[in-house]
């Protein structure tokens, strides 16, 4: 059963996914040997410090994903989000005529 995960019955409806899921990522906290979540205050080694930062990131993700105000935006269409980003980008770029060429992988210059 190595790469298999059992999901709740309503998973496909909740996530809007279908049955051809390529990958599903699961994030979990890092725990110390006593079973507590590793924090910066309890980090004793370099590895613990890294784990504490990873736990911070998971906490931030949860805060964003579980905040009611974000619910509608997170369930929105990717097409709508793309249009919003284009509008924001237009505001950022303004009326500039300068548009640098994309970065070239083999010759590190712009």
Q: What is the pLDDT of residues 10-21, one digit of tens each?
A: 777 766 666 665
The pLDDT assigned to 110 comes to 47
Burial readout 55-73 (b: 16 or more C-beta within 10 A, e: otherwise): beeeeeeeeeeeeeeeeee
Q: CB–CB of 62/54 below 8 Å?
A: no
Maximum mean pLDDT: which of 8-12, 50-54, 62-66, 88-92: 50-54
Q: Is 37 helix (H, G, I), strand (E, B) or coil?
A: strand
- Report d(CA 22, CA 13) in Å as an integer: 17
Task: Tell me how far CA of residue 30 lies from CA of 5, 56, 66, in angstroms.
Answer: 20, 10, 20
The pLDDT assigned to 108 comes to 53
């Amino acid at each position: 059963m190595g790469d298999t995960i059992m999901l709740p019955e309503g998973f496909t409806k909740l996530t809007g996914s279908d049955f051809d899921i390529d990958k599903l990522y699961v994030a979990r906290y890092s725990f110390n040997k006593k079973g507590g979540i590793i924090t910066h205050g309890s980090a004793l080694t370099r590895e613990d410090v890294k784990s504490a930062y990873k736990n911070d990131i998971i906490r931030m993700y949860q805060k964003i994903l579980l905040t009611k105000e974000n619910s509608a935006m997170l369930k929105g269409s990717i097409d709508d989000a793309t249009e919003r980003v284009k509008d924001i980008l237009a505001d950022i770029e303004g009326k500039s005529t300068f548009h640098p060429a994309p970065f070239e992988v083999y010759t590190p210059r712009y």
